[in-house]
Amino acid sequence: MVTLTRNTHAHSPQTQQHQHEATAHGAHSAHGDGTDTPVFDQAFWDDRYRSAHSVWSGRPNAHLISEVTGLTPGSALDIGCGEGADALWLAQQGWTVTAVDLSVVALERAAARAAEADPQAAARITWKHADITEWTPEAGAYDLVSSHYIHVVQERRGELHQRMATAAAPGGILLIVGHHPWDQDTTMPRPRAAGIFYTAEEVAAQLPAQEWTVLTEDARAQETVDHEGRPVTLHDAVLKARRSV
């Protein structure tokens, strides 16, 4: 039986793209029919995870590996952990991980698979059920705060990223990865809601310069194919920053 730390606000609806690991490995999009106002609440994600044995690749995100390898392990917050590949990889590198997701189905799957794959690493992971658009993590508590492919409407994005930033300890790292707005001009299905994607520069601009040093501010290209097998170049916004105070 998997025990989850639960949050009383976790059932709040949210407009969110939780496409963990998807574009990094060329997986199919979770956007449905590409409507202008996609609403991905807990019921949506629980149903999505129940619909398949594995929704994502089972591999940690490439940007996580490239940006975190070499850091001294400490406490990590994995926001939108999905089926747990990033959380498990972090724990295997020596991090003590709090892995947060809106879907109970995803969390139970993640915990079970981590325990089966590497019991010693799994023991360093706490699985938490919460709606990240409502839940506020403990301030200054984490040496690494990592979020991959979490997208909310533009009006709530700054608030969400500020919550993530506040959770980083002095000297800690903030890593935010998302789909770049350029992706909406490709043949890969993407939601058309204005402002749902962002650039690394936009995220960096939200961080007070006196508190943060930007280490990575990039639009990283990757070659893949769309659902019709046509070649397409996608871009990820990658922001990595260190908190100084």
| pLDDT above 70 (res 169) | yes
| pLDDT above 90 (res 191) | no
Q: Which CATH number fits domain 14-243: 1.10.10.10, 3.40.50.150, 3.40.50.300, 1.25.10.10?
A: 3.40.50.150
pTM to 2 decimal places: 0.82
- In this prediction, residue 14 has a pLDDT band, given cuts at 50, 70 and 90, of very low
pLDDT tens, residue by residue, 178-188? 999 887 888 88
| pLDDT above 60 (res 20) | no
Question: Percent of the chain having pLDDT more than 70?
Answer: 80
Contact 110, 118 (CB under 8 A): no
- In this prediction, residue 5 has a pLDDT band, given cuts at 50, 70 and 90, of low
| pLDDT above 70 (res 146) | yes
Q: What angle separates helix 42-50 from helix 104-117, to the nearest 10 degrees?
A: 50
| pLDDT above 50 (res 145) | yes
Mean pLDDT, the chain, rounded, equals: 83
| pLDDT above 80 (res 9) | no
Pairing of strands 75-79, 142-148: parallel
Identify the residue with better confidence: 27 or 81.
Answer: 81
